[in-house]
Amino acid sequence: MAGLWEAIRSLLARLFGGSDNQRRLKTLEAMEANVSASKRDNADGVESLKEEIRTLESLALRKKQEFEQSHGDTKRIVAGEIERLFRELDRLRGRETILAASLDRVGVALAKIGEAKAALQAGGSEEQFDDIAVELQDLFAKLRESDKAARDLEREKYEVAAPPHVDTEQRMAELADEAKAPITLSPQTEQRLKNLEAEEA
């Protein structure tokens, strides 16, 4: 994506730097091609995100069955896996928000490029064209920020807390009689699993 932003920056400089309408029109067409490519990339990102979410939801449901059939430490490990799956799903919601905002901004940018082309072809005033070019510059700055936010979100990792000291006698008692210290999922995770099961039905 860095190459896209460099290309757009260069194209914006050409828009502001010249007064030849034919040259400006060619610049706008090149810009339109770059923005359309960004739109396709974002749409592909949404499709990829949907597939990733489907996979994680399916895995959470399988892990729920494994949780119900497990005992002792295995049950605790599976509970942790389910919790991590839901944290990952929550992280993906952030990416979804960013992609949706980018798609909206790209749509606005394409409309503004269309306006600029129409202004040039209709012989609009230099002031009108400059106003549109400034709006495009602002839009591209926001799109670049969204792209950076998406990359930052991709790099985000959840930190796992350090394991506590193990009380061997207590753990042996738990294994002998799990009813004394049952391993459960958080109420939020239980509800999310129920919602997934209802959607699957």
pTM over 0.75: no
Decide if 110 contacts 39 (C-beta within 8 A): yes
**pLDDT band at residue 105 under the 50/70/90 scheme:** confident
Q: Which residues of 77-88 are buried (b: 16+ CB within 10 A; e: fewer)?
A: ebbeebbebbee
Quick count: other Cβ atoms within 10 Å of Cβ 113? Answer: 21
Distance between CA 66 and CA 15 in Å, rounded? 60
Q: For the segment 137-158, what is each residue's pLDDT rounded down to a tens digit?
A: 888 788 778 777 767 766 664 4
Mean pLDDT of 165-188: 61
The answer, yes or no, to whether residue 166 has pLDDT greater than 50, is no
Long-range Cβ contact pairs of 116-120 (< 8 A, separation 24 or more): 116/15, 116/24, 116/28, 117/25, 117/28, 117/29, 117/32, 120/21, 120/24, 120/25, 120/28
Q: For the segment 32-64, what is each residue's pLDDT rounded down to a tens digit?
A: 888 898 889 889 999 999 999 999 999 999 999
Torsion angle defined by CA atoms of residues 119, 121, 124 and 129, in that order, rounded to the nearest 10 degrees: 40
Mean pLDDT of 60-76: 90
For tokens 């730097």, the residue is 17
Torsion angle defined by CA atoms of residues 27, 32, 37 and 38, in that order, rounded to the nearest 10 degrees: 100
Distance between CA 96 and CA 45 in Å, rounded? 9
